[in-house]
Structures are given as C-alpha cells and as structure tokens.
C-alpha cells in the first residue's frame, strides 16, 4: 500500500506542484513587468499583482472543486459550458459590452474585472467533445464540423487568430483520439487552407503581421515594433541574464510585458539558462499528463486527458515560438506565468480534472 502511494506521488505530484510554483513565480514577474505601467494607469504599482493574486486564489478554489467532482459527471456540465461559451462569444461582439484593446474585441468588462470568453471556449471544447465522442456512435462528422466552424467564425470576428488555431487544433486532436475517420478531415484541408489565405488577404492587419514575422526589420517602428522589442529583450539577457529586476525593456518599451510577452522579461533577466529551466518545468509537467493518458481508466478519461495535454502543449509552443520569432505574434498567453485571470482559472480547472482522473488510476 505504501509503495503504491509512493509511486503515485512520484508520478503525479508534479501535476499539482509545478503549476502552483510557476504561478507564484509568475506573480513575481507580473509585478516586475507591470509596475511601471500600473503606476502610469492607476497610480498603484501593485495593481496587476493584486488582481493576479486574487485570480490565483480563485483558481485554486476551482482546482479543488474539479479534483473532487467526478469526471464522469462532466457530461452534464459540458452542455451548459458550451452554451455559455457560445453566448459569451456572441455578447463580446456587441459594442458597449465587449471591451476592445489592441484592435481586438475579446473581453467583457464587468466593472471590477474582465472576462475573456475564448478561454472558457477552450475548456468547453475539451469537456464537450470528450463527452460527445466517448461513445462509438457514427455519422457525426457534419455535426462536429458545423459546431467547430461556428465557434471559429465567432472567434475570428473578434479577431483572435491564436485562439482560433488552438480551438481548431484541440478539436482535431480529440476527434483523432476518439478514433473517428480522418479521411474526411484531410478532404476538408484545402478548404481550411483557402479560408486562412482569404482571412490574411482580406485583413491588412493580419497581412502586415505576417510580413513582420517574415521580415521583422522591415518596419521596426510600426507593425514590427513588438517582435523587435521582444528580440532586444532576449538578446540583452544573453546566457546568464542581466539579473533580477534589471530588465530595461519593462519600462514601457516592450508591449504587453506582463501578459503575452512575459517570457521576454524572464529571458532578459535570467538569460538562456532561465529560459531552459522554465521550458524544462513545462516539459516535466506535460510529460506527466502524457503518462496519465496511457493510464486513463476509460475512453472518456483518455479523451479528457488527451485534450488537456494538447491544450497546455499548444499554448506553451505557440507562445514561445512567437517570442523567438518562429511563429507570428498571436496573443496567446504563457500558462501560469502571463497575467490574465480567465486563462489561469481554466488552466487550474483542467488540472483539477486531471487530479480527479488520477484518483481512479490503478498503479
């Protein structure tokens, strides 16, 4: 009995400890990266730090709830979650209700806090599709395609290409894990590629961002400003970094320093070594999720864990690839480290589901 408990803790304890440790580290860097901006906007250097700390407490509450909520009952919750997600994706597009920033209407302002509906949508897609595909029922391709297309349409209207890519990828991965027919997906690929091409050509902003990705030096003070400031941050960090609190880019040079671009601040202060340590923590975390996929006791749990595995991998890979110029900037946050309550809440809710499934695993 004791040996089984030891093995269980050895395998699955990182699922809990790594997110909490990284969230606490994130609090430190959020304060560092946002203090100057917070003073200029609110007169309080702790403004964003306090908000993120509050979200972290609420996120831990969600983790506890879902760790005790039987994952088999998510089937009933998934319908409500998906309905609320669609409703909020529509509401956020209404002028006067949806809050705009950086040219995108992605937030609903409730006064004391903002909510980003797309983060709930990621959660909903995982639990809804996992619940839907747990049975072997056939002839669901058109229903699946219609639902995902509608979600992507609402997300692109904001516009939020980064989240659209994540939602589409999550959907296809869960579809694949469910053992569904992939031939139909491949047949639809040309249509998807054509739609992406039209979206880029029809939007000067998307086209210019793509050009900035292909050649960051073409417009260093315009559309290429953000990626150039990121690269300056990382180059300033070098191998060992400039030291804790020594970042110069956080003084309003680097846009979104405390949100999507927080890795650049970490890289500037702790260099290549700090970046490697951070990526290693993510690797250990997602490896433990992968191990849980292999031990999942039933098809529903396998689909849930597979979707959660894809969720964290996609967010980390897309964010870090954008920070290093390997992928266009998309506004995807870095899990646990970037400022943002919606993403933090959904991330810890998904971890709670993992812990609940882990209880049912027989080692």
Residue 271 covered by a domain: yes
Residue 3 covered by a domain: no
Range of the domain at 344: 15-359
Residue 7 covered by a domain: no
Token pair in block for residue 332: 């995807």
* pLDDT in the model for residue 301: 92
Nearest to 26 by CA among 307, 359, 349, 347: 347
* pLDDT in the model for residue 201: 66
Residue 5 covered by a domain: no
- 98-101, strands of its sheet edge to edge: 98-101, 104-109, 114-115
Pairwise CA distance, residues 363 & 354, whole Å: 16
Rounded to 5°, the CA angle 45-46-50 comes to 160
Residue 2 covered by a domain: no
* pLDDT in the model for residue 181: 72
Question: How many domains does the chain contain in total?
Answer: 1
Dihedral pair phi/psi, residue 157, rounded to 5°: -65, -20
* pLDDT in the model for residue 341: 85
Q: Residue 117 has what DSSP assignment?
A: H
Pairwise CA distance, residues 190 & 186, whole Å: 8
Residue 1 covered by a domain: no
Rounded to 5°, the CA angle 53-56-59 comes to 155
* 285 close to 14: Cβ distance less than 8 angstroms: yes
Residue 8 covered by a domain: no
* pLDDT in the model for residue 6: 41
Residue 144 covered by a domain: yes
* 339 close to 53: Cβ distance less than 8 angstroms: no
- Token look-up 């739609």 returns 195
pTM: 0.89
Residues of the chain with pLDDT under 70: 1-12, 98-105, 110-113, 136-139, 187-189, 197, 199-209, 211-222, 252, 362-363
* pLDDT in the model for residue 139: 61
């Amino acid at each position: 009995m004791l040996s089984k408990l030891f093995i269980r803790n050895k395998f699955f304890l990182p699922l809990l400890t790594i997110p909490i440790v990284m969230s606490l580290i994130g609090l430190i860097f959020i304060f560092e990266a946002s203090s100057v901006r917070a003073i200029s906007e609110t007169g309080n250097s702790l403004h964003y730090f306090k908000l993120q700390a509050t979200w972290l407490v609420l996120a831990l509450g969600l983790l506890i709830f879902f760790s005790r909520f039987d994952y088999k009952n998510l089937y009933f919750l998934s319908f409500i979650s998906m309905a609320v997600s669609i409703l909020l994706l529509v509401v956020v597009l209404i002028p006067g209700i949806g809050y705009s920033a950086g040219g995108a209407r992605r937030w609903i302002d409730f006064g004391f806090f903002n909510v980003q509906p797309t983060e709930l949508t990621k959660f909903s897609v995982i639990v809804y599709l996992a619940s839907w595909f747990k049975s072997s029922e056939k002839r669901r391709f058109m229903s699946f395609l219609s639902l995902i297309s509608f979600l992507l349409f609402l997300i692109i209207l904001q516009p939020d290409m980064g989240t659209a890519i994540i939602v589409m990828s999550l959907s296809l991965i869960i579809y694949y894990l469910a053992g569904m027919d992939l031939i139909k997906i491949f047949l639809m690929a040309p249509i998807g590629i054509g739609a992406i091409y039209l979206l880029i050509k029809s939007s000067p902003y998307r086209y210019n961002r793509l050009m900035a990705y292909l050649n960051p030096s073409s417009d260093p003070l315009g559309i290429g400003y953000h990626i150039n400031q990121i690269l300056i941050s990382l180059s300033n960090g070098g191998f060992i970094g400039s030291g804790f609190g020594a970042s110069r880019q956080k003084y309003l040079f680097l846009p979104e320093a405390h949100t999507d671009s927080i890795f650049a601040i970490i890289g500037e202060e702790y260099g290549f070594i700090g970046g490697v340590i951070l990526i290693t923590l993510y690797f250990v975390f997602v490896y433990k999720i992968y191990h849980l996929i292999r031990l999942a006791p039933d098809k529903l749990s396998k689909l849930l864990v597979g979707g959660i595995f894809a969720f964290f991998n996609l967010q980390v890979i897309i964010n870090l690839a954008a920070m290093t110029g390997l992928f266009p900037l998309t506004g995807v946050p870095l899990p646990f480290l970037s400022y943002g309550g919606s993403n933090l809440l959904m991330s810890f809710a998904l971890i709670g589901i993992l812990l609940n499934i882990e209880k049912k695993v027989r080692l």
